[in-house]
Amino acid sequence: MAELAAAEARAKEALYRLGAAVFLYPTPEQLTRLKEGAIRLDSGEGPLSPSLADLVGIIKRIRPSLSLPLEEAYCRLFRVNPPAPPYESHYIDKAGLGAGGIAATLEEEYATVGLTPKPSLNEPPDHLSMEMEFLAHLSGKEAAAWEEWNPEVALDWREERRGFLNRHLAQWLSLFQEKVLPNSPPTIYSSALRMAEELLAVEIERSPVKKSTRETCLNPVFSEPRDTRDEGSASILPHLCKGDRIKPSEQT
């Protein structure tokens, strides 16, 4: 059971990280990392789901040296008078906190597991990529606990991830998707959102995920020190910085 649970958590880690990487600004360097990660994902064992296969296929066809069209699409959708701002605070604010209050709340949640947003990202904590990278981080912590045969800690991390998901991304991803799809032809962004929608549905319903040994390397959105246990699994999304590691069960 622990082996299967670890594989499921690793699969979720890879998928959240892939989604986070897609919604970073598409510089040639970022696209190169994204494409390398998609190729590794495609070379793993077992078939990809239709939505993931579609996304991986689109990414593999990208030519990083010709990034301008994708940069223009990114700016049109997400930056310059954007129809679909990729920020939680644009879509929900049930507590009336405002963008600053939501950012502070997220920073506090990231800090509970020893993470802080990377200043170099130059985005607020409620950016879609940052929330997805945080979910990838929590999935990775769950997987590591299963791999160490520590089910109690693994389940703590799983509930931490699902709690964050239900408080944040699950509340606004569909609203964001409604803004993106009418303003964008079938592209990497609409494909990534379909994949993310399926992943969230699995999480919310707590449905089993097929065992997978795939790993994707997509710069984490939080900075982190070198961990020799992760040698060979570089990441693709530098957005969040890791500090002291705090288990959910150790929080007060």
pLDDT digits (tens, 9 = 90+) for 8-61: 999 999 999 999 999 999 999 999 999 998 998 888 777 888 999 999 999 999
pLDDT score of 233: 32
Lowest mean pLDDT among 114-118, 230-234, 243-247: 230-234
CB 225 within 8 A of CB 242: yes
Question: Looking at per-residue confidence, does 214 or 38 come out higher?
Answer: 38
Task: Give the number of domains in the chain.
Answer: 1
Range of the domain at 171: 2-250
CATH of residue 86: 1.10.3480.10
| Confidence at 222, pLDDT banded by 50, 70, 90 | low
pTM: 0.83
Q: Per-residue b/e over 41-80, b at no fewer than 16 CB within 10 Å?
A: bbeeeeebeebbebbbebbeebebeebeebeebbeebbee
pLDDT (average), residues 198-224: 56
Residue 227 near residue 242 (C-beta atoms within 8 A): no
